Structure 1
């Protein structure tokens, strides 16, 4: 009977053109973002400055990033290439602290000058393990996917519960199956849909990163994506139980927000925190052990290499325990509130029955 309810939830969603279109648009946005980002990084890496050098300066200039050195016989030959605009600058022997002279046609190449300038030795006490910009975008990606999927399918469960109460269909359903069976079917059906969307996004991301030659990023993201899917599975079951329980306490669609808003805030909090504090180890560590934010916090820590091997396992145990508690409490509220029509059922009354 549980599977019949789950099939009903899945079928009604898959027959919805709005759901299919929105899912397709989401996947296209993910693919476009990865492809555009990949080509942009390639173009940035491909933009090199052609520079004329002599045998005395070739070794110094060739070691600089984003510089294409063309060796010539002397300073005169370098000037000829410069005037014919075949190179953007020339580096020849000269006087001064560096022993080099930079020749340009009109404007001084500030990037080349800075690279050739004498700089003090730099010592980094806490070197960054990942590119800060990449870290920021990965944080946004994890946050948006978690918030979007949880809010979308959690809202679907809430609307379905209230619709059945409002139309009195629930009374017919409960004459055949128990309330706990109905709740389990709704949670399982929407969990399958949510996980399907997550796996589709992961597949699209893998294809996009492979097609754009971002194999290093893909290799770094492999384990965090797998853990994100695992944590999201149990995290969504926890949230789905809460959404169903909260929705069962009201009898009209207009009143859904009054009971589900706190849960929605719990979904939005990890999204905001992971973006604002993606470079704060303490905040990420706390997030990785709080059940509502663990699906975002722990994969992020794994991506930046700040988590020990045992930490995901411990966090998962805490999430599973929280999931069991949420299901037990949610089932009690759902069972005691489902047939109560009219005004909103207070939480204390729903728990007491």
Structure 2
């Protein structure tokens, strides 16, 4: 291990005493401004942000398509009675369809050829129906129209026998099998499931990328010896805090842009109209947990990165922490969307270092009671001061040591 490199003339050899009269807040803010102006101009940051936005919007569009949005079926009928019967049958089947009455069959066929209608319904003898299509009948319409044709035929037979079709239809409609499930499945809201996935993925990617930016920035300054010039004017704690604050602000902007795009896309597609997802609280909590998670991990990675002097060594020194970030993320997206009430996931979501990944997913899925995120947040914040103190000690004692990797125990006791 080599000794610390000399600083600029007039600076404290340990970099602990500022040369100029900068207040702690001013020094931290200057470093943060430097990080923001540098990072936000990087092409990689802009590309990553664009990719996150595209991925989230694409996921929302897929959810919208899966939920059946934007797939209205247009059906025509040659008389009002048939149009009413078809509309009632489609509504009962839950299909999003528009039913119109055309003047005659020829006019309806022209609309079918032009693509204005998906199908034209023409009543035939005996209560049956003739369906006119351009190439083939829509797969969602076929069973509904088959059922309607059978009902029409039954009505015609009842009338021919002198019965009352209305009475028979009411009796048939009331008949059915009552099911008593001993362990009924919980109805899943597709929008909430997809929101859980998106929140988990965005949180992991944002926290991982921004935290690694801090680690890479520390080693970059150490390798280029810029850190020696910076520590001639600011304390190590101010330098580390400013770096974390600046990159944290950049990451927060990235997350805010992503969740904003998600909110706009969800609103534009009407995906939230029938969903139980609480968009506002979900987005606010996502931003809060990003800040908590970033502060938690960024200081730790900054301290560990200060132990090495080359970019090639960064991954090896921060691997234990990145694995700690990866495990709750993998467990969350593998288990929570399919089992939101999972007891182990609920327990892990209260543990600091794990809660920034699991609690936002549980909130998006709507399975976390109101008190749980506040308790988890209090526990996470209680650990932050200790992590900052330990990280600051390691960083201050290792950042000026170049050459061989500094051992962790040496940095703690130096």
Give the TM-score, by structure 2 length: 0.70
Which one has the bigger helix percentage?
1
1:319 aligned to which of 368, 380, 384: 380
1:265 maps to 2:314: no
C-alpha spacing 1:146/1:242, structure 2 compared with 1 (3 Å): same
CA distance in 1, matches of 2:373, 2:62: 32
C-alpha spacing 1:79/1:349, structure 2 compared with 1 (3 Å): same
1:210 alignment counterpart: 267
Asked if the contact 1:210/1:218 (under 8 Å) is kept, the reply is no
CA distance in 2, matches of 1:126, 1:338: 59
CA distance in 1, matches of 2:133, 2:205: 56
Asked if the contact 2:263/2:279 (under 8 Å) is kept, the reply is no
1:274 maps to 2:347: no
2:402 aligned to which of 329, 337, 341: 341
1:190 maps to 2:247: yes
Structure of larger gyration radius = 2
1:156 maps to 2:213: yes
- What secondary structure does 1:42 align onto? coil
1:7 aligned to which of 23, 27, 33: 33
The residue correspondences of 1:1-353 to structure 2 (distance < 5 A) are 1-43=27-69, 46=72, 63-66=92-95, 76-81=126-131, 88=142, 89=146, 90-92=149-151, 119-123=177-181, 125=183, 127-128=185-186, 130-131=188-189, 133-216=190-273, 217=275, 220-278=278-336, 279=339, 280-353=341-414
- Unmatched tracts of structure 1, length 5 or more: 101-116
Shift of 1:156: 1.1
C-alpha spacing 1:325/1:36, structure 2 compared with 1 (3 Å): same
CA distance in 2, matches of 1:73, 1:39: 33
Shift of 1:139: 2.7
Asked if the contact 1:57/1:93 (under 8 Å) is kept, the reply is no
User: Bigger shift: 166-175 or 253-262?
Assistant: 166-175
Give the TM-score, by structure 1 length: 0.81
- Unmatched tracts of structure 2, length 5 or more: 1-26, 100-119, 159-174
C-alpha spacing 1:94/1:173, structure 2 compared with 1 (3 Å): same
Shift of 1:288: 1.7
User: Bigger shift: 135-144 or 282-291?
Assistant: 135-144
C-alpha spacing 1:121/1:14, structure 2 compared with 1 (3 Å): same
- Cα RMSD (Å) of the superposition? 3.7
C-alpha spacing 1:50/1:320, structure 2 compared with 1 (3 Å): farther
Could you give the per-residue CA deviations for residues 52-92 of structure 1, whole angstroms, max 9, x where no partner exists? 99x99998886333397999989723144589998732223
C-alpha spacing 1:304/1:218, structure 2 compared with 1 (3 Å): closer
CA distance in 2, matches of 1:62, 1:257: 58
User: Bigger shift: 222-231 or 3-12?
Assistant: 222-231
CA distance in 2, matches of 1:59, 1:34: 31
CA distance in 2, matches of 1:12, 1:341: 24
